[in-house]
């Protein structure tokens, strides 16, 4: 398989963009978010984000499997964390989905 170096970045950008193809996938994504949010603050920190990506990868959501394969968690996190507070909110995920 051939992947260019820019792939992880593209994967991060597209991480959530293709998850809304069906209501079912969107529901899975939301469930994975809640499950990954271990401290129940409605946001994902970097370690919770890894759990979220792994769960999405397992469900075949978006490009999560690609982020996982490339180990591009940090890069994906930085792209999604638009206010750079080290937490990813549902709003930030939703915003990324619209890009």
CB 42 within 8 A of CB 93: no
User: Binding of Ca ion at residue 32 (CB under 5 A)?
Assistant: no
CB 87 within 8 A of CB 6: no
Q: Which residues contact 7 (CB under 8 A, 6 or more apart)?
A: 66, 70
Q: Give me the phi and psi of 29, to 5 degrees please.
A: -60, -40
Stretch that binds Ca ion, among 5-13, 23-31, 43-51, 64-72 (CB under 5 A): 43-51
User: Binding of Ca ion at residue 47 (CB under 5 A)?
Assistant: no
Q: Give the count of residues interacting with Ca ion (CB under 5 A).
A: 9
Please, which residue, 42 or 60, has the CB nearer to Ca ion?
42
Residues that bind Ca ion (CB under 5 A): 37, 39, 41, 43, 48, 81, 83, 85, 87
């Amino acid at each position: 398989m051939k992947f260019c170096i820019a792939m992880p970045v593209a994967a991060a950008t597209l991480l959530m963009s293709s998850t809304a193809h069906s209501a079912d996938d969107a529901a899975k994504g939301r469930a994975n978010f809640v499950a990954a949010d271990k401290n129940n603050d409605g946001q994902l920190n970097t370690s919770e984000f890894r759990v979220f990506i792994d769960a999405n990868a397992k469900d075949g959501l978006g490009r999560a499997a690609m982020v996982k394969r490339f180990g591009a968690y940090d890069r994906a996190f930085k792209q999604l964390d638009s206010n750079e507070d080290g937490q990813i909110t549902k709003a930030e995920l939703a915003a990324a989905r619209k890009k």
